[in-house]
Structure 1
Amino acid sequence: MRHPLRRASALAAAPVLSLALLAVPGLTTPAQAAAGDLDPVAAQRAGDWLAGQVDDGLLTYDSFGAPFTDYGLSIDAELALAAVGGQDATVDAIAAAVAEDPTVYTDYAYSFDGAQYAGRAAGAVAKALVGLQAAGVDPATVEQIDLVGALEAQTADTGATAGRIADVATKDGEPDPTGDFANTLGQAFAVRGLQAAGSDEADAATDFLLLQQCGAGFFRQDFAPATATDQACGSGADASVDATAQAVLSLLPQAGDAEVDAALADAAAWLAGFQNANGSFDSGADATAFPGNANSTGLAGWALGDLADLGVGAASAGAAADAAAWLRARQVAGVGDCNRFDDADLGAVAYDDTALKGARTDGVRPADRGQFLRATAQAAPALASSTDTGEDAVAAKDLARKGRALTVEVTGLAPGATLCLTGSGAGRGETAGATAGRDGSAGLTVSPERAGTATYEVRGESGVVGSVDVRVLGPKTLGVDTARRAERGGSHVVTVSGLVPGERTVVTFRGSKSVTRADEEGRVVTEVRISGALGLATLRAKGQFADRTGEATVRVVR
């Protein structure tokens, strides 16, 4: 027998036909949390934005020019918010809205070309069931449909397809086999719901899900034909990040079972190996179809984070952190004077770079709202793997040249975090924004236009990161004080003034050079050797930059 559920969880998956997106609350990562290296800000802001979009327990957005209330996506939001935490009221509100009548989501009936179609989607039944379970709602209290009984009835009992879910579809009142669109995404969700319900069908559903794992370690999305005698994954199956991540999340509660553990290890290795170098995930082997996107990256990062929690896969923790960094860099985030987004959009996650650019220009438009909702629901739990890279630090050169580029370096940040630099004093009115790289560092470039002391303050999403003072230097004629006569072959004392403390200064006379730094009074006292022909010669001094110079004429004597 397989192990019963030992902790609360739910499944995650990607949009598919009428199922929309299947989602799973992420498991916590106590090992990371104990080390104090997790940064919850991005996940919390995604959760805040997502919760703010819920109206009367449901999500509605424009679809083909008309408002569409999406029950499936509403459940996705519920599960994501349960994973992120701090949104119990919204979680309960969504579950209550779905519980009023789940058949609005699970059942369909329509006419097309004179024929009457009707049916019940098994994946939707499973998803509605898990949504209620995750909020602590007893599915037996639902009047319109027995969700557990309906799901069991749509799970095959015997033969090669034992444990496989199937949609119930009719055309003009007769069974319609072509109306069965059930797949691995819904199957994994069914495993979760049946296991939580203690159903006798749970083990068979789990066994069938395990059959969908292919030799390389990924799970295929589409089943074999229902008539096939072999329902296991074949060599010609297409890789699916979404199906693999969803299957992992559904199997995690059964960790400890040898067969499940082996499947999780293989899936962990495949996911980590399939990840792009920049931390993102394509949806599948054909990267041209859905290249690096927040939906697949969110699901994969979510699964990898939970795998890391269980110590499954040597690369899981690092891969989860990289996915979180990529997602965070595509989160609608603004800090202070560097915010280029509408305040109402802050926290949402863009599907890709193009979507983020559009939000910066036009805000999240009504036509794009559904895409942002779906991307955020899948990405929010994955953002919980955002990590700090150390103690925050802000640094820059002590001295800068007026009108020239100056880089302020910031380290110890959460990769993908948004920053804003503002200047005062000599840097008055300057601002610069940046996103931390995968090493947790960022360089913010400014060009101070005034001489004097510039103070640069760097703010992050959680407040002030730090500040640094820089002395900005402009052109200056330095004072050079020395005796007017100097004996050849001897040393000659030179005093240079008009410098700033610590300013590097070079004093040259023919082939002799002295390099030193100014004292606290902005002065250099040094010596140069006198050589060369007798007569007048020029002694020169140069400060930190080429436009800070001075000179004196010396007569070389015997």
Structure 2
Amino acid sequence: MTPSRPGCRAAALTVGLGLVAGSLLVAPAAPASAAPQNDSAAAVAGGDWLVGQLDGGRAVYNDQFDFDDYGLTVDFGLALDSFDGARYDATLGDVTDELTSPRTVAAYTSGDGFGDPGSRYAGATAKLASFVQQRGGDASAVGGVDLVAELSGLIADDAPIEGRVEDRSTFGDSANAVSQGFAARALTVAGDAEAGSAMDFFLDQQCDAGFFRTFLTEDKTATDQTCQGGVADGDSAAAPDATALAVLNILATTPAAGSPEAVAVDDAVDWLLAAQAADGSFTGGDGPTDVPNANSTGVAGWALAEAGEPGAATAAAAWVAGRQVAGLGPCEGVLTPGQEGAVAYDDAAFAAGTDAGIVADTRDQWRRTSAQAVPALRSLPAPGTPSLDASSGVRFVRAGSTVSLPTSGVAVGQKTCVTGPGGPFSSARPAGSEATVAVNVPRGTALRQYTLGQSSVTVSALAAKRLDVRRSRAAVARGATQTVTVRDLAAREKVTVRLRGRVVDTGVATRDGFFRSRFVVRGATGPAQVRVTGRFADIRSGSTTFRVR
């Protein structure tokens, strides 16, 4: 593990965090010293889409299973609260009123109304307390409930689980390491007496490699309740989402330089940097989420930005932007117009959306992904005016191949849509590389035109062909001139002529696909082969023979 840099990232206080598992999202307040972050166009489009998903502007309603999803509503609120200024203040006011009403508090943090009387759920309680604190409220007085006291009462007091947060429910305890982090944060911000033990137990959930795990030790009687202690029995798989959340939760408590909390942040960020793929993406860890996805990449990019790693944060944001609906019409099928700003979980989800749109049984995934991914998009620069680079003139390409067309004016993370044969084709510029668009050129020899905005380029697609090669004389004396003609070439196609394997002439075909070569015959007497190749020698060639006398 990279040596820690105590406190170097602790001052870069975050404005938000999220997790796909359980949709747990919380956002700490930014200090006055935090540098302002401009809101990118992609992030604003995402924020506007989130607003449009709120039923009556107040809560997320799940029409697939007919219930108000208050946990996801908190996610929406915290995502919108991450933006600069007062862009979404009116909506946030309505969301806050909804989430802090006595009815919502009871329904969300307990099971009193659905067959679990006297229950208290640690993750929901900590999450709601964090939301109230983020919005500047007092978490000890929320809808007639003291959320701080409720949460404090869910912290274990006895070894070996002293400091561990637990659900109180007839359904068992489903609190995990993410719940633990939220609880440690909320109690620390509130100055509660249980904050220290909760934070200590939370820091124990970081493995020596630097990552935080998602789940706590199942056996509460086990002596070793730490992440490292759970490695051997499989309880401590590396979890990018939980690690990013840990970074943001700890930063929310404003840890002192050199403190255990600050060191934990440094080690976790180092692990995230090492876990990031070359294209900027993150996977969700083990199991079905072990694929590059916008949930994991979004929350990791958010954490990296707030921890003072702008390069890695921009790379993550650029990857997320490639899965966002950008209003590109032909490249997004039925998603546009209407769903601009929404972020798909992965490439497969985006492809499905272009065919069927966002429907009842997929809407929840789009919403959860967007709530976690949209804040990461704030790391993107302003978009440019994209165009195809036609400066090199007509390009020759293999028919049936995939070709990268260079573009200009494309900002990092900006999506483009190129139309043309075999298309349309969409691309988002990754961080650290030039912008190109990959197009699948159809089979068959033909001129193919591709368009981006007001610009177009034409490529000459060449299919395999046996060239018609003819010599003017059947026998030529050494030192005399032979003439060879070639027909059915593509216009301006490059031609190479070889006599007995040696190049004797090169040139380009006429606009009519004709080429004539004259060359002096040298070498031994006897049979001689002339081989002519076009732009791609392995698929476009022909030959003829004559005698040298």
Question: Would you say same fold, with TM above 0.5?
Answer: yes
Q: 1:433 corresponds to which residue?
A: 425
CA distance in 1, matches of 2:398, 2:16: 57
1:407 matched to 2:396? The reply is no
Following superposition, the deviation at residue 283 of structure 1 comes to 4.0
1:194 matched to 2:194? The reply is no
What TM-score does the superposition give when structure 1 sets the normalisation length?
0.71
CA distance in 2, matches of 1:351, 1:357: 11
Q: 1:313 corresponds to which residue?
A: none
Following superposition, the deviation at residue 39 of structure 1 comes to 10
Where do residues 330-369 of structure 1 align in structure 2 (5 Å cutoff)? Answer: 330-332=323-325, 335-343=328-336, 344-369=338-363
Q: 2:19 corresponds to which residue?
A: 13
Q: 2:520 corresponds to which residue?
A: 529
Following superposition, the deviation at residue 95 of structure 1 comes to 1.9
Contact 1:456–1:468, Cα closer than 8 Å, also in 2:
yes
Give, as a single letter, the amino acid of the residue that structure 2 aligns with 1:109.
D
What TM-score does the superposition give when structure 2 sets the normalisation length?
0.71
Change (3 A) 1:155 1:392: farther
Deviates more, 1:371-380 or 1:299-308: 299-308
Contact 1:25–1:82, Cα closer than 8 Å, also in 2:
no
Q: 1:78 corresponds to which residue?
A: 77
The equivalent position to 2:438 in structure 1, one of 439, 443, 452, is 443
CA distance in 1, matches of 2:548, 2:39: 68
Give, as a single letter, the amino acid of the residue that structure 1 aligns with 2:479.
G
Contact 2:24–2:127, Cα closer than 8 Å, also in 1:
no
Contact 2:504–2:519, Cα closer than 8 Å, also in 1:
yes
Contact 1:155–1:201, Cα closer than 8 Å, also in 2:
yes
CA distance in 1, matches of 2:278, 2:315: 9
Change (3 A) 1:408 1:105: same
Q: 1:95 corresponds to which residue?
A: 96
The equivalent position to 1:515 in structure 2, one of 498, 505, 522, is 505
CA distance in 1, matches of 2:34, 2:101: 40
Following superposition, the deviation at residue 541 of structure 1 comes to 8.7
Where do residues 119-268 of structure 1 align in structure 2 (5 Å cutoff)? Answer: 119-139=119-139, 142-155=142-155, 163-169=163-169, 179-199=172-192, 201-220=194-213, 221-222=215-216, 231-233=225-227, 235-236=229-230, 237-239=235-237, 241=239, 242-253=241-252, 254-255=254-255, 256-268=257-269
Following superposition, the deviation at residue 260 of structure 1 comes to 1.6
Following superposition, the deviation at residue 183 of structure 1 comes to 3.1
Contact 2:16–2:78, Cα closer than 8 Å, also in 1:
yes
Following superposition, the deviation at residue 367 of structure 1 comes to 1.9
Q: CA RMSD in A?
A: 5.4
Following superposition, the deviation at residue 8 of structure 1 comes to 5.8
Q: 2:418 corresponds to which residue?
A: 421
- 1:405-431 residue CA offsets vs partner (Å, 9 max, x unmatched): 5734236767876543224xxxxx663
Change (3 A) 1:355 1:41: same
Following superposition, the deviation at residue 144 of structure 1 comes to 1.9
Contact 2:476–2:482, Cα closer than 8 Å, also in 1:
yes
Give, as a single letter, the amino acid of the residue that structure 2 aligns with 1:468.
V
Following superposition, the deviation at residue 302 of structure 1 comes to 3.0
Change (3 A) 1:353 1:404: closer
CA distance in 1, matches of 2:335, 2:83: 23
Instruction: Point out where structure 1 has 5 or more consecutive residues left out of the alignment.
Output: 170-175, 311-316, 424-428
CA distance in 1, matches of 2:459, 2:333: 27
Q: 1:303 corresponds to which residue?
A: 303
CA distance in 2, matches of 1:499, 1:183: 68
Q: 2:111 corresponds to which residue?
A: 108
Contact 1:23–1:378, Cα closer than 8 Å, also in 2:
no
Change (3 A) 1:504 1:329: same
Contact 1:47–1:81, Cα closer than 8 Å, also in 2:
yes
- 1:251-305 residue CA offsets vs partner (Å, 9 max, x unmatched): 1243524312221233234444555677654544xx3354324434433343344
3-state DSSP of counterpart to 2:206: coil
What percent of counterpart residues are identical?
36
Following superposition, the deviation at residue 71 of structure 1 comes to 0.8
- 1:104-149 residue CA offsets vs partner (Å, 9 max, x unmatched): 322221565xxx6322223322211222233344557744223344
- 1:212-250 residue CA offsets vs partner (Å, 9 max, x unmatched): 223333323225666667654452232251332221211
Give, as a single letter, the amino acid of the residue that structure 2 aligns with 1:364.
I
Contact 1:8–1:134, Cα closer than 8 Å, also in 2:
no
Where do residues 55-66 of structure 1 align in structure 2 (5 Å cutoff)? Answer: 55=55, 56-63=57-64, 66=65
Contact 1:504–1:515, Cα closer than 8 Å, also in 2:
no
CA distance in 1, matches of 2:221, 2:529: 98
3-state DSSP of counterpart to 1:235: helix
Give, as a single letter, the amino acid of the residue that structure 2 aligns with 1:409.
L
Following superposition, the deviation at residue 57 of structure 1 comes to 1.3
CA distance in 1, matches of 2:36, 2:507: 47
Q: 1:426 corresponds to which residue?
A: none
Change (3 A) 1:224 1:524: closer
The aligned length equals 517
More strand, by proportion: 1
